[in-house]
Amino acid sequence: MQAFIKGNKKKMTYKKAPLCPHCGQEMKKWKVPIASTWPNEFFYVCFNDECPYFVEGWKRIWEQQATHASYRCRLDPDTGKFLPLPVWSYDALKDDIIE
């Protein structure tokens, strides 16, 4: 992982896909939808259906919000921060994997 400055904004670059901090699997490059409010072109997302973050998310969201949903770990390449990406099914968002 390397950082470079683009304008006044620090941006992270990755020579190979980063690993999920929750399960150690290689994260996939995922295309951010055009209609989203995120400024990014893509995020790195863990699509491992066995990832404890994803598996435990179903229980946690049900307990907190009585909603059948979970989240996957995403990495914002512009900031280097790992954040949740909400999903409503095991297959949600998988169609937009680009690498």
4-14: pLDDT as tens digits: 344 445 556 66
Q: Where are the domains of the chain?
A: 2-96
Q: What is the DSSP string of 23-85?
A: T-PBPEEEEPPTTSS---SEEEE---TT-HHHHHHHHHHHHHHS-S-EEEEEEETTTTEEEEE
Q: Work out the angle at residue 29's Cα, subtended by the Cα atoms of residues 67 and 48, and round it to the nearest 5 degrees.
A: 50
Q: How far apart are the C-alpha atoms of 44 and 25, rounded to whole Å? A: 12
Give pTM, 2 decimals: 0.83
6-54: pLDDT as tens digits: 444 555 666 789 999 999 999 999 999 999 999 999 999 999 999 999 9
